[in-house]
Structure 1
Amino acid sequence: WLPAAFLLRTYLLKSWIGVSDEHYYQIMVNRDQFHLEELQEVYTDIRIRKFDCAVRKGFHFIFYASGLIVELRFLARGYISIMVLAGVIHGLVYNMLRCISLYGNLFTDNLYVQSWLYFAPRVRDGREAYINIRVAQALTTLSTPVFNIMLDQLTDCGPKAEEADRNIAQSMVFLVFLPVALGDAMGEVVGSFYGKHQFEVKGFGEVNKKSLEGCAAVFTFSLIATMLSTFVVWPDELPLLWKILLPICVSTLSTLTETIAFRSTDNFVIPVCNAIIVMIVYEKVRNEC
């Protein structure tokens, strides 16, 4: 999707926002001379927020939709170590290329190379946008293998089990990743446009703020998605009480971790914390059966 991200960002910046060539280059490539306040004044803050949400969260949905398909088709149904290793190596190589480009000062002013290395850095993250997206993408890449290792080590559903309950493993995937795939994304969308009660948070970016409205959206959309998953996907052995309580616990934990986590790390912190609580409940239900 890297060419698609490049074309979409170019179209929105040039045709919709109408940025100048100088500002286009600053946003897409080199932020050494980047002045966020100037861009917000010239092109209005609301347009910049809409642009950030459309590009960053649009591809967030695409990434997690494809990721869930891979997770459900292969990893949660008994992954093989080579697949996890390939995913980790891919992420490491990708980030090594970014670091080589950055610290070796190679192609740092090349529009196409930088657009390939960093597909959607936010405008509002200012000069720290590339740090933000480097950390976010590296940790996001690691979340899936970490989850699968936990699945193997802490439950009977992993690939080392001779009679793995694959339906339960797939149900865990929804509970672990839906809050970050849907809840986290909708939290930023709602918070960006309707967030009136804002507060400061820590993170990489010139604008490090979240809102109570955004946090409420994280909880609401996480709860809806995970509640549907427990009733539709989770096998009948999960008692009705836990089909209700587990989504509430996961959604509450997701909201807390999304709020507290250092900005750009939540795509890793949310699923890992969710995996822990889901696996604790799994063991409890297993012992009661």
Structure 2
Amino acid sequence: MDAVSPLAADIAPLADTAPPALTDQVALARLYGQPLFKIPHDLYIPPDALEVFLEAFEGPLDLLLYLIRKQNFNILDIPLVQVTDQYLGYVEEIRSRNLELAAEYLLMAAMLIEIKSRMLLPPKAKEGEDEAADPRAELVRRLLEYEKMKLAAQQINALPHHGRDFVQAQVLIEQSLPQRFPDVDVAELQAAWRDIVRRAKLVQHHHISREALSVREYMSRVLKQLQGQRFVPFEAVFAPEQGSAVLVVTFIALLELAKESLLEITQAEAFAPIYLRLTYSSALPVQALKTVEAN
């Protein structure tokens, strides 16, 4: 055997690779993100990497019904020996591949073996019955009901389905007719107006107007009103029609006059009417009036 030089050994691995620019164009596959340009000689494909199911069954009853109909057996007189052998063969096949999938099929297999064993024994009638019941009767009843439901499901599935077999068409047609607005009833207008008024009351503001009132001016008015009179009822000096502000200022003016000894507030007895009068001085009212007006 010829010896291989170190240079040749270094060049050999490079022959299996391609430039980075051609990686996406010529790579056969990718393994862990790395491109493969030829199939490796030591490639291992596990047995369960690819499984092809020619027939898919929805459960044990579906498989049992398939075996019966495929061989044209009479469902009312099932040859249990042949059907059980074929069923157990299928169960053994899926048990070796997927134990979880075979679990529900094993229960039906146990039921078939039980029925098969009961058919080998002499028939024994129950109390009150003339003939012994067929051990296959319950299984036949379940198979017939399942077949009815399966055929009904196939008929429903054969019906056209929206989104699968057809799509609902939508067409927009523009009408040239003039737009007609609905009529408005008078009661609706009244209700709308009441709603507006109600909302306006919720947001209304209370405005306070400021009025400049002079206490000195009302002191002069009270003195003029009391001048020349001996007693004047307390409520006679007030003018309620002019508002509460004038009443307050008038009352303050009376207190100021009484404080300055220009006015006397008298009462004959408890709970008796209150009267007002000027102080006992002939020159005091005129002089006090001039003083108040000057201030």
Q: Which has the higher contact order (CA 8 A, sep 6+)?
A: 1
TM-score for the superposition, normalised by structure 2:
0.20
TM-score for the superposition, normalised by structure 1:
0.21
Structure with the greater alpha carbon radius of gyration: 2
**Which is helix-richer, 1 or 2?**
1
**Which is strand-richer, 1 or 2?**
2
